[in-house]
Amino acid sequence: MILVDHTRCAYCGNCVSVCPVGALELAETRLVVDQTCMDCGLCISACPMGALHAEPPPESWAGGPGLPLRPRYDVIVVGAGPGGAIAAREAARQGLSVLLLEKRQEIGSPVRCAEGIAHEQLIPFIAPEPHWISATVTSAEFTVVSDDGRTETTRGEGGLGYVLERRIFDRVLAEQAASAGAEVRVKTAATALLMDHGCVRGVQIRSPFGKAEIESLVVIGADGIESRVGAWAGLNTTLPPKDTMSCAQFLLAGIDIDPTCTCYYVGMHVAPGGYAWVFPKGEGRANVGLGVQADVAGRPALDYLVRFIESQPLLARGSPVTLITGGVPVAPQLSPMVADGLMLVGDAARQVDPLTGGGIANAMAAGQLAAEVAAECIAAGDVSATALRAYEMRWQASRGHKLARRYRLKERFAPSARTSHECMRVFMVAVGGK
Ligand SMILES: Cc1cc2nc3c(=O)[nH]c(=O)nc-3n(C[C@H](O)[C@H](O)[C@H](O)COP(=O)(O)OP(=O)(O)OC[C@H]3O[C@@H](n4cnc5c(N)ncnc54)[C@H](O)[C@@H]3O)c2cc1C
Ligand code: SF4
Ligand code: SF4
């Protein structure tokens, strides 16, 4: 039976079209072969990625030369989300040699985000461009849904924010990193850290072109909620379920909503421990999703989402054209977030607002700070944890203290108390990006 190298497979489906017995199936992002395969080999030559084999390739098989990589860089950034791309862009602008690694084949996809960001939070990092903004929002509505179904809505006008098109936004940030001189590689995963006497000295990578070891003076782990980089360096990165929001979201099309207003719904029956959101995406579309606190929900977030949409006649008329799911770390920030030769930024360091789940701007701010400190420490010839701690201290002074305060506030209100007037006031301020 034919063998699939999932490291190389790019899920294009070409092999499925040539198989005479229908033995191949593209199950979303996984190519599956069944027992009817008769080893004719037709699919092997049809595959543009060299992902199919009649027998296991030898260990030494590298599959092609690949794009050239240096043996060492000043900085390797793992993960090309907003945190990693800004870190790579800033480090390159500081004159460092930088490699930005992304394990997915397309930066920014699949999206795991509701894509909302306040204007003031965005502009320190990039000027707004229409091609990656779906909607401009100027008002917000907050609805408390009581256990007996009664609702109370408060509307606020006058803010300015955006609902992004992150599929494009993330890629534009990576393109800016490349323009600044960083080398960017997609479908290239970091699989382990290189260590030298307890100090991080680079990463092992796996790409369609095989495995390699690349050295660096500093590694910046920007590998998101699923971060492994910190754990590889011995940091405790496990999230307790009570500090994890489990999220599901549909992009709904064919709905008639206010295109300038973001809507939030809070209630134990709507989204236990979290909230539901409706973020307009223009042209009769919206990101409609919710996050539930993993340890109190009792049912999957997707079930709550379906029930929420059914309860809203305006939304129930829409069609889901995309389903996304994901997790948000509404946890204390990691401490420490550095080790010898290593810094963590963004979701990997739990730098998310625990009240709102917003993490795009925090990730970008952390990426920028990490790059600045990396440049200073490399220039001074000291990348020990003690030297890199300057990043953590500047982070605490700029945003960290506020996030810690917000975590304490979240803890003060049990999930069932989050519809109280006091908690809603705090939530509204946090949503306003203040
Ligand atoms: C449903 C949902 C809704 C949200 N809504 C909002 C919102 O409206 N506004 C907001 O501000 N925030 C929101 N967030 C949070 C926001 O998406 C994150 O905080 C933000 O994306 C964090 O950026 P990051 O760069 O740290 O990580 P990510 O954007 O997650 O990027 C990490 C990258 O690292 C890559 N990677 C991981 N491991 C490796 C590896 N070993 N090798 C190479 N690459 C690797 C991943 O593929 C990924 O591309 C939401 C999150 C979810 C799940
Ligand atoms: S080897 Fe032939 S029969 Fe088997 S999956 Fe490929 S095309 Fe189909
Ligand atoms: S042709 Fe190759 S890359 Fe495309 S789905 Fe088949 S195995 Fe994957």
Choose the residue to mutate in 21, 32, 52 for probing ligand 2, maximizing ligand atoms within 8 Å of C-beta: 21
Asked if residue 189 and residue 84 are part of one domain, the reply reads: yes
pLDDT of residue 65: 76
* Each residue's pLDDT expressed in tens, for the chain with a length of 434 residues: 999 998 889 999 999 999 999 999 998 778 999 999 999 999 999 988 889 999 988 777 767 778 889 999 999 999 999 999 999 999 999 999 999 999 999 999 999 999 999 999 999 999 999 999 999 999 999 999 998 889 999 998 889 999 999 999 999 999 999 999 999 999 999 999 999 999 999 999 999 988 999 999 999 999 999 999 999 999 988 888 899 999 999 999 999 999 999 999 999 999 999 999 999 999 999 999 999 998 898 899 999 999 999 999 999 999 999 999 999 999 999 999 999 999 999 999 999 999 999 999 999 999 999 999 999 999 999 999 999 999 999 999 999 999 999 999 999 998 888 888 888 888 998 887 55
Pocket of ligand 1 contains residue 363 by CB under 6 Å:
yes
39 and 157 assigned to the same domain:
no
- Probe ligand 1: pick from 214, 223, 292, max atoms within 8 Å of CB? 223
**So what's the pLDDT on residue 175?**
98
* Concatenated DSSP letters of 305-348: HHHHHHT-HHHHTSEEEEEEEEEEE-SPPPSS-EETTEEE-GGG
Residue nearest to atom 4 of ligand 2 (CA): 37
Examine the domain organization and report whether 131 and 34 are in the same domain. no
Residue 425 lies in a domain: no
121 belongs to a structural domain: no
Read off φ and ψ for residue 99, nearest 5 degrees.
-120, 125
DSSP H or E stretch at residue 423: helix 421-431
Q: Is residue 264 located within the same domain as residue 134?
A: yes
**The total number of structural domains that make up the chain:** 3
219 shares its domain with 321? no
30 and 134 inside one domain: no
**C-alpha 8 to ligand 3 mean position (Å):** 8
Answer yes or no: do 357 and 210 share one domain.
yes
Together in a domain, 102 and 189: yes
| C-alpha 66 to ligand 3 mean position (Å) | 18
CATH number of the CATH domain containing 30: 3.30.70.20
Residues spanned by the domain of 232: 72-109+168-237+336-414
290, 306, 330 - which closes a domain: 330
**Which residue has the CA at smallest separation from atom 6 of ligand 3?**
15
Write down the pLDDT at residue 24: 94
Q: What is the Å distance from ligand 2's center to 59 Cα?
A: 23
Domain assignment present for residue 420? The answer is no
- Provide the pLDDT for residue 434: 55
Pick from 4, 9, 25, 53 the residue to mutate for probing ligand 3's pocket: most ligand atoms within 8 Å of its CB: 9
Both 326 and 351 in a single domain?
A: no
Same domain, 133 and 268: yes
Q: Using CA positions, which residue lies closest to atom 31 of ligand 1?
A: 81
Q: Do 153 and 173 reside in the same domain of the chain?
A: no
84 and 32 in contact (C-beta within 8 Å)? no
pLDDT on residue 416: 87
User: Are 278 and 132 members of one domain?
Assistant: yes
